[in-house]
Structure 1
Amino acid sequence: MMASLERVCKIVLMLLFTIYISIVTLNNVLDYSSNFNFVKHVLLMDTTFKNNELMWRSISSPNIHTLFYIGLIFFEAMISILAWIGSFCMIKNYKLSAKKFHNSKKLAVISLILSLVMWSLFFMTIGGEWFLMWQSPTWNGLAVARPMFLIVGITLLFIIKKDDEKNE
């Protein structure tokens, strides 16, 4: 009985993540210019502290801004697709053995790991530190990136946990 409840919780958490990342991806496509401006200003570093010594990192090429943004959308779309497939695999294998259910989580786990990469590497490290996004009062995505990294990380830790075969 407990294994079933735990599996339902894992599926629900995975579906919540899947819906969230899908909406993020969709928003970046449907509201392209707003979110493109975010990426552009982060790369321009035009709202960071004045006269800082790291402005040489700034990128002013519109083509590179577009490349960064399309790359981000592609990465989010890839995470979304893997998350949907992973969620459906978990649902499909819900009633099978603990080993089969655990093995069905592979794509879900990959999507969560890629999401951690996105929030940590792209937002916190590259955007936040390399392009000094933390200095910007306007174009600062760290307030979203940090809690999302934690939420996704906790979700990953729970989903990756193996079911107890004895409880079946």
Structure 2
Amino acid sequence: MKDVQTMLIMRASKVAAVAAIAFFASLVAFGNITDYQTNFNFVFHVFEMDTIFPDATIKYRAITNPALQHAAYMLIIAAETATAILCWIGAVRLARRLRADAATFNRSKGVAVAGLTLGFLVWQVGFMSVGGEWFGMWMSQQWNGVPDAFRFFVTILAVLIYLSLKDDELA
């Protein structure tokens, strides 16, 4: 069995990792809200599919209705914001139970797991699958967010896996 100090450090590192994702999602959501038009341009071009390969036969998938484009962008912002909020709440709950028994600490992971899972879904499903594959974002020289989305969701997934590891008793 590990000593108490080591276990506390491991628990604290899980809190810090969840808080780091909360901070990241907060910055992304804040940027999308406060610089709406600049970031909307990205969504616009992905949905319009106007910068994918000229001979691509998937252009029929484009969404050119501005109301639908804005609605989808607002949904993205809402999901990013919810990711941040859930991860912040999760980090606080974990921090408050840092010295609790193992069962209590492990049970307190739920909200953080929900936030991390939502974040994973935003960047993996939303950006990699829908944006990257359905709208062919990977074909765009200028509006390809696939590499960034991959970095984001792999980082979130790593934190989710780490957090999900069961914690032992402190004593």
TM-score (norm 2): 0.95
Moved over 6 A (4+): none
Deviations 1:18-77 (A, max 9, x none): 111101000000000011110010000000000211110011110011011001001111
Which residue type is aligned with residue 75 of structure 2? Answer: G
Counterpart of 1:124 in structure 2 is 128
| Separation in structure 2 between the aligned mates of residue 146 and residue 82 of structure 1, nearest angstrom | 21
Q: Deviations over 1:67-112 (max 9, x none)?
A: 1100100111111111111111011111110111111111001100
The aligned residue for residue 112 of structure 2 is 108
| 2:141 is the alignment partner of 1:137 | yes
**1:90 equivalent in alignment to 2:89:** no
Tell me the amino acid that sits aligned with residue 140 of structure 2.
S
Alpha-carbon separation, structure 1, partners of 2:117 and 2:74:
20
Partner amino acid, structure 2, of 1:25: A
Normalised by the length of structure 1, the TM-score is 0.97
Code of the residue aligned with 1:32 in structure 2: it is Y
Specify which of 42, 46, 51 is matched with residue 38 of structure 1.
Answer: 42
Match of 1:10 among 14, 19, 42: 14
**Corresponding residue number in structure 1 for 2:70:** 66
Counterpart amino acid of residue 21 in structure 1: A
Q: Is residue 2:27 matched to residue 1:27?
A: no
Tell me the percent identity: 35
SS of match in other structure, 2:53: coil
CA deviation after TM superposition for structure 1 residue 144, in Å? 0.6
Q: Name structure 1 gaps, 5 residues minimum.
A: none
- RMSD over aligned CA atoms reads 0.9
